[in-house]
Amino acid sequence: MSNENKDQFRPENHENDHFLLTTVVGSYPKPKWLNRAKELHQDPDHSFDDDDYQEALDDASRLITNEHERAGLDVVVDGEMRRNEMVEFFAHRIEGYEFNGPVKVWGHNYFDKPSVVSEVEYTDSWLVDEYEFVAEASDRPVKVPITGPYTLANWSFNEAYDDDDELTLALADLVNEEIEKLVDAGARYIQIDEPALATTPDDHAIVGEALEHIVADIPEEVRIGLHVCYGDYSRIYPEILEFPVDEFDLELANGDYDQLDVFKDPDFTKDLALGVTDVHVGEVESVEQIEENIKKGLEVVPPEQLVVSPDCGVKLLPREVAYGKMANMVEAARNVEAALDAGEIDVERGEPAPADD
Amino acid sequence: MENIKPRHSLAASTMTEYVSTTPGLFPLPDWAKDDLSDLKGHQKGDLVSGDEGEEITAAYDEARAEVIEVQQEAGLDRVSEGQLRWDDMLAHPLAVHDAVDTQGIVRYYDNNNFYRDPVVQGDLDFSGDVANELEAAAELSGDDDLQAVLPGPYSLADLATDEHYGDDEEFLAAVGEFLAGEVDAFPDHETLFLLEPSLVENAPEDGVDERASEAIDAVASATDADVVVQPYWGALEEKVYAHLLDADIDAVGFDFVTDQDDNVYNLQEYGATDQLSLGLADGQNTLVEDAEAIRDRVDWVYDQVPVSEFETVYLTTNTETFYLPYAKFQEKLAVLAEAADLAEVKAA
């Protein structure tokens, strides 16, 4: 069985017959000097100007793209070096949004939750420059993560639309417009991030409807993934199999795969990008441990449908830990591929484990 | 509904008093967000403990003085302490309790907000944490009427994990007694708001609804002040509402921002207390309502209910206001104060 959509990202000189595509969710720790550069840039008394800061962002983007290459990832991202936060970044680029100051998330962690004060409109592209820069900086395929319309709507104050569903669909049309531009620029791998779905799983229908808007007129060969994290997956599965996407990127390592059985019945008909390292644990998992985690994915899908990635964005980890997790993850994936080639892996698929009691 | 008598209020023809207020739990002023995150840090272990040092206490004192002044300048009829220290939102009174261990970060209802899971591991004896805050507020509020704010016992028990009492019924009663003890230590206050979102979000089942009302009754009995029980994020199930009316409280709150029909139904079917609290401004949206629009909503509520007059009507946001950016929070307070003035004028 082959998987054309996934195999377009297979490196020419790939060492094994089997191919478990390795990639990341998106964010990566920013180098400390980039944060320092940002402070200097924001300091009106300092001569560090717009050009200087742009240069620093370019350098950071190249550096982290290269760090992903060194880790051996098949599909790379620049670690979202130019983005501050997953809603704010886009809200600043969408007409109709306004910022009124920080609001609490928990403790003393705040975010500039924006308000939609008028009809949302697409003006300039959001990510084409970022994509073109990374594609230029790397020989490897590049994935573009985009915050999904449901999350953009849900994590904003809605002053302008009758309800959040209406706002979600309006934003979905803008995301569609942006993806068209990215595809024109050469992008072939898009990941829609919808973390808000985990907080309100009953809303999966509107997320599905938004995805229909998002993929309208996007060519078949463009790979569309959906990233969801921290949730009760039984409340969205199997409904999400109807979504018009190629891949689901799911956080499962953090819960030690306690929700894995959810995806065994009915059959998982899409590609599974399985979280195989926990981004909330500050230690680098061993290659052997990650190999075991990858094999969990084989209980759900055959190797052709399996993609290997961390649970979530790794930006909150120390940089060396983030790198260690990437490198071990790639090594583990290659080991599992070799073992599959050699017929050494025998995983029973699709059989939910018997209940403990 | 069998066995539950409607309690229609046939208020005398005295004029209704309109009281502008809030359910408390304000956002920190932006400078305090910065200063306190520098002083305390961003991690789970950095959240408020109940025995903060001098610098942190000073920052909170200054912020408290500021939000009290903001309420006074807005012209609110009740001044709240602001609950700025409540890092764990409504779970705060337990989160700082000696017999409680704060564990993992958990979601705060259906919001993108989180608090530390307070795990109760010993007897919930007297704490005094909230009373201390109120003492500080009382010194600042001058001649203005002070309003105390607490989680209702049902919500507080719902937000916590019990590893000590071992029985839901006993735990709920213990939380009620604990809160009553806290209220008993409060300085003079005109009004006590008990916030009970869990009565909507995780509605008590048969039997538990009655015990929830008993626990509320225990807390309410600890004060001479008017007691307002404010559920939100929807309307109460009718049986829960009917039982709540049996508690010795002065007002039930209605979240008319989230739900109109079911709240009106409850009022029509079961009547109301002599006082009423109307959540008419959205505590979770930056869109600032017009004072006239809020006044009109008061009229609308009157048109729906069989009772023509209430002794006191509180005009508030439906929820806590910490969800809002600080400047929008200030605007909402001003609108509520103005709406209450308009309603008084109209009534006169």
Q: Which of A:169-198 have CB within 8 Å of B?
A: 196
Is the Cβ pair B112, A101 closer than 8 Å? no
Q: Which DSSP helix (H) or strand (E) runs through A189? A: strand A189-193
Is the Cβ pair A157, B285 closer than 8 Å? yes
Q: Which of A:71-100 have CB within 8 Å of B?
A: 100
pLDDT in tens, A49-86: 999 999 999 999 999 999 999 999 999 999 999 998 99
Using an 8 Å CB-CB cutoff, list chain A residues near B40. Answer: 107-108
pLDDT value for A332: 98
End-to-end CA separation in angstroms for chain A: 37
Q: Which DSSP helix (H) or strand (E) runs through A55? A: helix A50-71
Residue B218 in this model has a pLDDT that exceeds 60: yes
Using an 8 Å CB-CB cutoff, list chain A residues near B285. Answer: 157-159
Using an 8 Å CB-CB cutoff, list chain A residues near B319. Answer: none
ipTM above 0.85, yes or no: yes
Is some CB atom of chain A closer than 8 A to the CB atom of B45? no
For residue B246, tell me if it sits in a domain: yes
For residue B12, tell me if it sits in a domain: no
Q: What is the mean pLDDT of chain A?
A: 95
What number is the average pLDDT over the span B122-136? 98
CA distance A263 to chain B (A): 24
Three-state secondary structure along chain B?
A: CCCCCCECCCCCCCCCEEEECCCCCCCCCHHHHHHHHHHHCCCHHHCCCCCCCHHHHHHHHHHHHHHHHHHHHHCCCCEECCCCCCCCHHHHHHHCCCCEEEEEEEECCCCCCEEEEEEECCCCCCCCHHHHHHHHHHHHHCCCCEEEEEECHHHHHHHCEECCCCCHHHHHHHHHHHHHHHHHCCCCCCEEEEECCHHHHCCCCCCHHHHHHHHHHHHHCCCCCEEEEECCCCCCCHHHHHHHHHCCCCEEEEECCCCCHHHHHHHHHHECCCEEEEEEECCCCCCCCCHHHHHHHHHHHHHHCCCCCCCEEEEEECCCCCCCCHHHHHHHHHHHHHHHHHHHHHHC
pLDDT in tens, A230-289: 778 999 999 999 999 999 999 999 889 999 999 999 999 999 999 999 998 899 999 999
The residue in chain B having the minimum alpha-carbon distance to the alpha carbon of residue A158 is B285
Amino acid at B257: V
Its pTM stands at 0.90
Is the Cβ pair A108, B286 closer than 8 Å? no
pLDDT in tens, A134-170: 999 999 999 999 999 999 999 999 999 999 999 999 9
CA distance B6 to chain A (A): 35
User: Among A165-174, A241-250, B37-46, B197-206, whose mean pLDDT is lowest?
Assistant: B37-46
Residue B306 in this model has a pLDDT that exceeds 90: no
Q: Which of B:149-178 have CB within 8 Å of A?
A: none
Residue A212 in this model has a pLDDT that exceeds 70: yes
The residue in chain B having the minimum alpha-carbon distance to the alpha carbon of residue A117 is B287
Nearest by CB to B87, from A103, A107, A200: name it.
Answer: A107
- Rounded CA-CA distance B169/A105 in Å is 32
Three-state secondary structure along A252-320?
A: CCCCCCCCHHHHHCCCCCCEEEEECCCCCCCCCCCHHHHHHHHHHHHCCCCHHHEEEECCCCCCCCCHH
The residue in chain A having the minimum alpha-carbon distance to the alpha carbon of residue B46 is A107
What number is the average pLDDT over the span B29-41? 95
Domains belonging to chain A, first-starting first, are: 4-86+120-341 (3.20.20.210)
- Number of domains within chain B: 1
Using an 8 Å CB-CB cutoff, list chain A residues near B105. Answer: 106
Is the Cβ pair A100, B325 closer than 8 Å? yes
Residue B10 in this model has a pLDDT that exceeds 60: no
Is some CB atom of chain B closer than 8 A to the CB atom of A155? yes
CA distance B7 to chain A (A): 36
Query: In which domain, by residue range, is B138 found?
Result: 17-347
Is the Cβ pair B113, A101 closer than 8 Å? no
**Which residue, B223, B270, B228, is CA-closest to B250?**
B228
pLDDT value for A357: 45
pLDDT value for B9: 42
Nearest by CB to B30, from A102, A154, A199: name it.
Answer: A102
Is the Cβ pair A103, B27 closer than 8 Å? yes
Using an 8 Å CB-CB cutoff, list chain B residues near A110. Answer: 33, 37
pLDDT value for A354: 57
A–B: how many Cβ contacts below 8 A?
A: 70
For residue B4, tell me if it sits in a domain: no
Is some CB atom of chain B closer than 8 A to the CB atom of A162? no
Q: How confident is the model at residue A353 (pLDDT cuts 50, 70, 90)?
A: low
- Burial of A151 (C-beta count, 10 Å sphere; 0-12/13-18/19+): buried
For residue B3, tell me if it sits in a domain: no
Nearest by CB to B286, from A107, A115, A199: name it.
Answer: A115
Q: Which of A98, A103, A147, A199 best probes binding to B when mutated, by most B CB atoms within 10 angstroms?
A: A103
Using an 8 Å CB-CB cutoff, list chain A residues near B30. Answer: 101-102
For residue B8, tell me if it sits in a domain: no
Is some CB atom of chain B closer than 8 A to the CB atom of A105? yes
- Burial of B232 (C-beta count, 10 Å sphere; 0-12/13-18/19+): buried
pLDDT in tens, B307-336: 768 999 999 999 999 999 999 999 999 999
For residue B10, tell me if it sits in a domain: no
Q: For residue B265, what is the domain's CATH number? A: 3.20.20.210
Using an 8 Å CB-CB cutoff, list chain A residues near B44. Answer: 107
Residue B1 in this model has a pLDDT that exceeds 70: no
Nearest by CB to A105, from B30, B40, B114: name it.
Answer: B114
Q: How confident is the model at residue B348 (pLDDT cuts 50, 70, 90)?
A: low
Nearest by CB to B113, from A101, A105, A108: name it.
Answer: A105
Q: Which of A87, A106, A113, A167 best probes binding to B when mutated, by most B CB atoms within 10 angstroms?
A: A106
The residue in chain A having the minimum alpha-carbon distance to the alpha carbon of residue B48 is A107
For residue B98, tell me if it sits in a domain: yes
